[in-house]
Structure 1
Amino acid sequence: MTPRTSPLFATPDEAEHAFYEALEQADLAQLMEVWSDDEEIVCIHPGGPRLVGLQAVQESWQEIFANGPLPIRPLHLHTVQSMMSSVHTVVEQLVAGSGRSRQILNCHATNVYHKGPTGWRLVLHHASQAPAGFEPVPEDIPDLLH
């Protein structure tokens, strides 16, 4: 892998926004800018193996992006933050198909960010399919108008 110059994410929320934006655009370069350069990073896709290291993580996303963008809407459920780390647990809503075959799939995901000399970077993304019948409750959905 070649050295990269990445944007500085001043907050873990900025890094998370860039992560989901890259997924929605299927932009591998932008996605990898969010990840830490640490070879100990970990990514677990729903039903998949634990992937450790930049190359394994990048190759997995490259394979996923071969199918096109991922229209994922993250719904923040909980954030725990300290000075140097931030753990975000979210529900990822993925829209699959279109028209009558359109489905909304839900996954539970944990994103862990560490603060370093280059700002906040993703060190772990772990997603798993939500149980059958799971629906986020309205108070879990940000900016919902009642």
Structure 2
Amino acid sequence: MSTPIIASPDDAEQAFYDAFNRSDLEAMMKVWSEDEEAVCVHPGGSRFSGLVAIRESWKQLFETGMKFNVRISNVVRNHSALIAVHSLLQHVSVEGDDTIAPPLITTNVYARGPQGWQLLLHHTSPSPDTSGLMMQESPRVVH
């Protein structure tokens, strides 16, 4: 069975977060570009380059047995014919943990190729402060 072509960057993003919420490694990896230049940076963690390393990082995370609930907000999209960059806030909670963690700052870069839109870079960082401009829906011009 062949992998379906992902029609848009938004479809790729939806598939990525659906796989994340289900801890579904196979579905997660179908979203990733087969380009060996693919990069994944987990919050406060290491930089993983190439599909083998990226796959192993997600495998280890999913094998912890934690059930994640991830939702995104404040998505800022920049699209061209072959590249799409999404800057967003990622809200992660873990089943059974009532702690409300601050959102994570995330950048997802999608590339359009033979399989449609696929994830080329996922970089998530802890948020130092969410009370300022970061929470606005759209950028503000200050000059």
TM-score where L is the length of structure 1: 0.84
Give the match for residue 51 of structure 1.
48
Give the match for residue 112 of structure 1.
109
Give the match for residue 69 of structure 1.
67
Give the match for residue 84 of structure 1.
82
Aligned to 2:102, what secondary structure does the other structure show?
strand
Aligned to 1:39, what secondary structure does the other structure show?
coil
Instruction: Tell me how far apart the structure 2 counterparts of residues 70 and 15 of structure 1 sit (CA, whole Å).
Output: 19
Cα distance change, pair 97–21 in 1 and its aligned pair in 2 (3 A): closer
* C-alpha displacement of 1:76: 3.5
Instruction: Tell me how far apart the structure 2 counterparts of residues 41 and 5 of structure 1 sit (CA, whole Å).
Output: 21
> C-alpha deviations, 1:90-119, integer Å up to 9, x for none?
1000124647x4323310000000001110
Aligned residue-pair number: 135
Amino acid at match of 1:70: F
- Structure 2: tracts of 5 or more residues without a match: 138-143
Q: Percent identity?
A: 38
* C-alpha displacement of 1:59: 0.2
> C-alpha deviations, 1:69-99, integer Å up to 9, x for none?
3211011431100000100001000124647
1:127 aligns with 2:128: no
TM-score where L is the length of structure 2: 0.86
Instruction: Tell me how far apart the structure 1 counterparts of residues 46 and 99 of structure 2 sit (CA, whole Å).
Output: 28
Q: What stretches of structure 1 move > 6 A for 4+ residues in a row?
A: none
The answer on whether the counterparts of 2:93 and 2:100 sit within 8 Å (CA) in structure 1 is: yes
Amino acid at match of 1:91: L
Aligned to 1:40, what secondary structure does the other structure show?
coil
Q: CA RMSD in A?
A: 2.0
Instruction: Tell me how far apart the structure 2 counterparts of residues 105 and 18 of structure 1 sit (CA, whole Å).
Output: 23
Instruction: Tell me how far apart the structure 1 counterparts of residues 49 and 2 of structure 2 sit (CA, whole Å).
Output: 22
Instruction: Tell me how far apart the structure 1 counterparts of residues 50 and 75 of structure 2 sit (CA, whole Å).
Output: 27
> C-alpha deviations, 1:4-27, integer Å up to 9, x for none?
832211000000000000000000
